[in-house]
């Protein structure tokens, strides 16, 4: 479907203003060709609930075709390019993403709902993984190891693992894809991407630009589908050597089990339940800013969002008062309106989950201090909910145990460091954790004690291409971005050269 064909007038007007209307496409990209079958599925625009467009609904056999092509693509690409050549391709792709960032961001707003400034921020963040791995591509060093055997040398080679199956979520339609495929392409792998069915258009725009940058067409494949069973081909087909998934823990566990059937390498970036702790020695204004940054980013729909806010009883009143004051300045609305600071959630289920968490907490004794309703001045068919704050929250409530994935800030009170560490770690998840304190000894102690892969100290912003991203416990395995990111798409081969005196 072209921009002009969408049935949604709000979206149609925005799409008409794109400098590159061709970046908005609902086609699949398989074996070097854009394909649009008759079978499609609808994608919705979250601020109106109306259909944004129709996207190719691909079948299992399309995955088989894509994987076969990617296997050939991998063999050519990995042997015919140098690390410097791959680096140059990634640099070109980075330049094209940045040159088209406003168009990509507009498409992203229309399918995901986030605000335009958040969307531009996400596109720049997504591009930063491409430039980071363009640099890292040239640093895929092996080792020379002193051997225990005479006249022998041991070398290690870092080699690309092969065809990678990439499955990503809707909350970061651009960044979750580049964080995976930039390192894969950097080391010489090929990729088959199954984008999220809520937000497949951003993925297509990125793939178009990758092909324009010169990434060989059989090295990158994009296969949208609403048929989850078809997508599992990426986890069972023996030609796929690596599965990289970002999404919920239950789906991640299911796909991991499938991938283990043929012993694929896996990276699993899964759900979180991040604690956010404000100690009595914290700078409270800084803590409020940190909570705003990591609770309300993307309307609370990030895996690293603060999910449980623990505040020391001595500063509870001050923190809560200041947080309410700041949250009351947020403006909920359509993401492309300049005054909007909070977009809608991605779908109706997201809104219902926030409401369910509020109702459950209030029924068990919590107090709704702010929000909880649908704002008056938004489209009633959109997926909106006001940013909300609860106090008096306790660990028996749903909100303490499940990721809300929405703009709800539940505040728990505590009295001692030991008590709050035990509460913070009382979760099967371990992705992000945050705390605010001015005491250097406490900073070292608590950073070490929190059971999570990412810790923010006196900040709510922790995501960057150079920083290793990933969880512990049921938040997953593997690290993305950073100097560790290439290893996820590589194998280490040991080469022993003997009898060097012969
Ligand atoms: N740790 C991280 O880096 C990270 C980042 C972003 C989001 N997340 C998590 O993602 C979740 C939200 O995203 P979501 O709702 O899209 O997650 P999800 O698990 O429902 O879906 C993720 C992807 O998997 C696909 N999928 C779902 N079931 C499948 C199946 N049975 N077979 C094959 N594919 C399947 C979806 O279509 C989508 O592309 C949250 O739990 C969030 O914390 C984690
Ligand atoms: O939703 C999780 C990923 C967002 C991020 O990279 O900060």
Q: Transcribe 127-153 into DSSP letters.
A: HHHHHHHHHHGGG----EEE-SSTT-E
Q: What is the pLDDT of residue 5?
A: 58
Mean pLDDT of 391-418: 98
Cβ neighbors of 250 (< 8 A, separation 6 or more) are: none
- Contact between 195 and 203 (Cβ < 8 Å): yes
Residue nearest to atom 9 of ligand 1 (CA): 247
- Report whether 284 contacts 458 (CB < 8 A): no
Pocket of ligand 1 (CB under 6 A): 167-172, 176, 194, 196-197, 228, 231-232, 246-248, 251, 254, 269-272, 303, 403, 405, 431, 471, 476
Instruction: Extract the tokens encoding 366.
Output: 């919590």
ipTM of the complex: 0.96
Ligand 1 centroid to residue 178 C-alpha, Å: 16
Per the prediction, the chain carries an average pLDDT of 97
Q: Indicate if ligand 2 lies below 6 Å from the C-beta of 475.
A: no
Residue-wise pLDDT for 17-59, tens only, equals 999 999 999 999 999 999 999 999 999 999 999 999 999 999 9
Distance from C-alpha of 484 to C-alpha of 469, rounded to nearest angstrom: 9
Task: Return the half-sphere exposure (C-beta side, CA atoms, 13 A cut-off) of residue 335.
Answer: 32
Q: How far apart are CA 299 and CA 47, in angstroms?
A: 13
Give the Cα separation of 465 and 484 in Å (integer).
Answer: 11
Q: Where does 304-424 show beta strands of DSSP type E?
A: 306-312, 367-370, 388-391, 408-414
Question: Do the beta carbons of residue 32 and residue 51 sit within 8 Å?
Answer: no
Tell me which residue has tokens 């945050």: 434
What is the CA 232 to chain-centroid distance, rounded?
20
Q: Is 393 helix (H, G, I), strand (E, B) or coil?
A: coil
For a pLDDT cut of 70, what percent of the chain falls above it? 99
Tens of pLDDT, residue by residue over 347-364, are 999 999 999 999 999 999
Neighbours of 275 (CB within 10 A): 26
In percent, the amount of the chain with pLDDT more than 90 equals: 98
CB 459 within 8 A of CB 444: no
| Per-residue CA distances from 429 to 354, 414, 433, 450, 496 (Å) | 19, 21, 10, 11, 41
Three-class secondary structure of residue 268 per DSSP: strand
The reply to whether 419 belongs to the active site is no
- Coil, strand or helix: which one is 217? coil
- pLDDT tens track for 422-441: 999 999 999 999 999 999 99
Confidence tier at 185 by pLDDT (50, 70, 90): very high
* Minimal-distance CA residue to ligand 1 atom 12: 247
Report residue 3's pLDDT band, with 50, 70 and 90 as the boundaries. low
Who contacts 85 (Cβ-Cβ below 8 Å, separation ≥6)?
A: none
Q: Is the CB of 463 inside a 6 Å radius of any atom of ligand 2?
A: yes
Cα 165–chain centre separation: 16
Q: CA 23, CA 20: separation in Å to the nearest integer?
A: 6
Query: How, if at all, do strands 50-56 and 265-269 pair?
Result: unpaired
pLDDT at 4 over 60: no
Instruction: Give the pLDDT of residue 8.
Output: 79
- Ligand 2 atom 5: residue of nearest CA: 463
CA-469 nearest atom, ligand 2: 6
Q: Taking residues 371-375, what's their average pLDDT?
A: 96
Nearest CA to ligand 1 atom 2: 269
- Quick one: average pLDDT of 59-69? 98
Query: Is the predicted pLDDT of residue 2 greater than 80, yes or no?
Result: no
CB of residue 304 inside a 6 A radius of ligand 2: yes
371 by DSSP, 3-state: which?
coil
269, 369, 417, 488: the active-site residue: 269
Pocket test for ligand 2, best of 176, 245, 434 (most atoms within 8 A of CB): 176
pLDDT bracket for residue 9 (50, 70, 90): confident
CA atoms within 13 A on the CB side of 154: 9
Ligand 2 pocket check for 276: Cβ under 6 Å: no
The predicted structure's pLDDT at residue 413: 98
pLDDT in tens, 442-484: 999 999 999 999 999 999 999 999 999 999 999 999 999 999 9
The residue whose CA is least distant from atom 2 of ligand 2 is 303
Distances (CA, A) of 157 to 141, 144, 154, 201, 493: 8, 9, 10, 38, 5
Q: Is 302 in the pocket of ligand 2 (CB under 6 A)?
A: yes
Q: Which ligand is nearest to the CA of 243?
A: 1
* Token couple for 175: 């960044």
Nearest CA to ligand 1 atom 8: 247
Quick one: 303 exposed, middle or buried, by C-beta within 10 A (0-12, 13-18, 19+)?
Answer: buried
- Over range 206-222, report the average pLDDT: 98
Two tokens, residue 1: 């479907």
pLDDT digits (tens, 9 = 90+) for 84-129: 999 999 999 999 999 999 999 999 999 999 999 999 999 999 999 9
User: What are the φ and ψ backbone dihedral angles of 235, each rounded to 5 degrees?
Assistant: -100, -10
- Identify which ligand lies nearest to the alpha carbon of 353: 1
Burial 72-103 (b: 16+ CB within 10 A, else e): ebbeebbeebebeebbbbbbbbbebbbebbbb
All domains of the chain, ordered by start, with CATH? 11-270+476-492 (3.40.605.10), 275-457 (3.40.309.10)
Helix axes 417-424, 440-449, angle to 10 degrees: 30
């Amino acid at each position: 479907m072209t921009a002009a064909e969408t049935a949604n007038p709000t979206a149609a007007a925005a799409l008409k203003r794109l400098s590159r209307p061709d970046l908005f496409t609902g086609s699949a990209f398989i074996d070097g060709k854009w394909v649009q079958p008759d079978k499609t599925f609808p994608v919705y625009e979250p601020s109106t609930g109306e259909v944004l467009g129709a996207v190719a609904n691909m079948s299992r056999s399309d995955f088989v075709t894509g994987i076969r092509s990617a296997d050939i693509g991998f063999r050519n690409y990995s042997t015919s390019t140098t690390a410097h050549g791959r680096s140059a391709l990634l640099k070109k792709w980075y330049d094209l993403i940045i040159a088209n960032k406003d168009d990509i961001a507009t498409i992203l707003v229309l399918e995901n709902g986030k605000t335009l400034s958040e969307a531009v921020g996400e596109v720049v963040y997504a591009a930063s993984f491409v430039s980071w791995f363009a640099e890292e591509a040239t640093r895929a060093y092996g080792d020379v190891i002193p051997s225990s055997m005479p006249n022998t040398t041991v070398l290690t080679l870092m080699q690309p693992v092969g065809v990678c199956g990439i499955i990503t979520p809707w909350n970061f339609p651009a960044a979750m894809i580049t964080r995976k495929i930039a390192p894969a392409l950097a080391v010489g792998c090929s990729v088959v991407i199954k984008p999220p069915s809520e937000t497949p258009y951003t993925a297509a725009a990125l793939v178009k630009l990758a092909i324009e940058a010169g990434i060989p067409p059989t090295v990158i494949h994009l296969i949208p589908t609403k048929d989850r069973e078809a997508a599992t081909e990426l986890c069972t087909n023996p030609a796929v050597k690596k599965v990289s998934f970002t999404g919920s823990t239950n789906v991640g566990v299911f796909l991991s089990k499938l991938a283990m059937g043929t012993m694929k390498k896996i990276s699993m970036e899964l759900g979180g339940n991040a604690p956010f702790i404000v100690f009595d020695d914290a700078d409270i204004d800084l803590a409020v800013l940190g909570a705003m940054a990591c609770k309300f980013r993307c309307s609370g729909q990030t895996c690293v969002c603060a999910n449980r806010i623990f505040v020391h009883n001595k500063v509870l009143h001050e923190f809560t008062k200041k947080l309410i004051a700041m949250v009351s300045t947020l403006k909920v609305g359509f993401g492309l309106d300049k005054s909007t600071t909070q977009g809608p959630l991605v779908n109706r289920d997201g809104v219902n989950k926030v409401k369910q968490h509020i109702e459950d907490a209030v029924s068990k004794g919590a107090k709704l201090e702010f929000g909880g309703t649908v704002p008056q001045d938004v489209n009633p068919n959109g997926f909106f909910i006001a940013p909300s704050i609860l106090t008096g929250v306790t660990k028996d409530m749903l909100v303490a145990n499940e990721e809300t994935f929405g703009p709800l800030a539940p505040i728990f009170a505590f009295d001692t460091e030991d008590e709050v560490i035990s509460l913070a770690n009382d979760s099967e998840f371990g992705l992000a954790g945050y705390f605010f304190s001015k005491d250097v000894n406490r900073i070292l102690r608590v950073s070490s004690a929190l059971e999570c892969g990412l810790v923010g100290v006196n900040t709510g912003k922790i995501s960057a291409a150079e920083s290793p991203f990933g969880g512990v416990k049921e938040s997953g395995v593997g690290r993305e971005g950073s100097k560790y990111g290439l290893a996820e798409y590589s194998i280490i081969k040991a080469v022993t050269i003997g009898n060097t005196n012969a």
